[in-house]
């Protein structure tokens, strides 16, 4: 399954102001069916295939859309999914060092997602691993990192994966709280 993400951020106002209603329609079409051909999109919008191709390339170049590929990790032998909440020591340079070390070791530790948080914990990690033994081994590596104060692990029993769909603002104004909320999910 493919997902299309809409990027909001510091370029929000300048980049969103450069797209029109046809670009917004292209984004919505791709969100509903990423496999739809440019020719079919063009027919729906009354544009030629080269015009659609150019618009999609422009949206990609601006960073407004990007593509990802979802992989069924269970079929590749990764049977355990866990969320690890990490609290870091608040000692300036140690905090930065540990944060960067976690990011740099994502592949080694089988971390699929890394999110910086507000609240009691500093980071939440999503780890997918072969079994409980490899989960424990990776957790030990994390807890032994200089600067890690505490971890809390939640093992996922089951998941329902939803469709990634973002709201698309109709104007070039600043993002609303709803736009920001959808972007964070």
Work out the number of other CB atoms within 10 angstroms of the CB of residue 110. 21
Three-state DSSP class for residue 134: helix
What's the sign of the alpha-carbon dihedral 106, 140, 125, 98? negative
- Map tokens 């507000």 to a residue: 118
More confident residue, 1 or 31: 31
Question: Which residue from 185, 158, 167 is spatially nearest to 176, judged by alpha carbons?
Answer: 167
Mean pLDDT for the stretch of residues 54-68: 90
Helices (H) and strands (E) in the chain, counts: 7, 6
Query: What domains are there in the chain, each with its CATH number?
Result: 2-70 (1.10.10.10), 73-155 (3.30.70.920)
Q: Is pTM, for the whole model, over 0.75?
A: no
pLDDT tens, 82-108? 999 999 887 666 667 788 888 899 999
Q: What is the pLDDT of residue 94?
A: 65
Residue 8 above 50 pLDDT? no
Q: Which two tokens stand for residue 49?
A: 């295939």
Residue 2 above 60 pLDDT? no
């Amino acid at each position: 399954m493919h997902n299309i993400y809409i990027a909001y951020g510091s370029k929000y106002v300048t980049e969103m102001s450069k797209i029109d209603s046809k670009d917004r329609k292209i984004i919505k079409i791709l969100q509903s069916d990423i496999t739809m051909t440019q020719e079919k999109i063009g027919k729906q919008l009354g544009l030629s295939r080269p015009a659609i191709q150019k618009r999609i390339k422009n949206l990609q170049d601006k960073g407004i859309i990007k593509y990802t590929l979802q992989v069924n990790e269970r079929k590749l032998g990764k049977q355990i999914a866990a969320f690890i909440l990490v609290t870091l020591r608040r000692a300036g340079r140690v905090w930065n060092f540990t944060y960067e070390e976690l990011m740099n070791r994502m592949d080694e530790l089988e971390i699929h997602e890394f999110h910086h948080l507000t609240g009691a914990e500093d980071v939440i990690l999503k780890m997918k691993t072969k079994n409980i033994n490899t989960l424990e081994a990776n957790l030990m590596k994390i807890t032994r990192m200089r600067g890690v104060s505490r971890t809390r692990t939640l093992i996922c029993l089951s998941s329902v994966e939803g469709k990634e769909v973002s709201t698309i603002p109709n104007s070039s104004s600043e993002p609303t709280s709803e736009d920001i909320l959808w972007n964070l999910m």
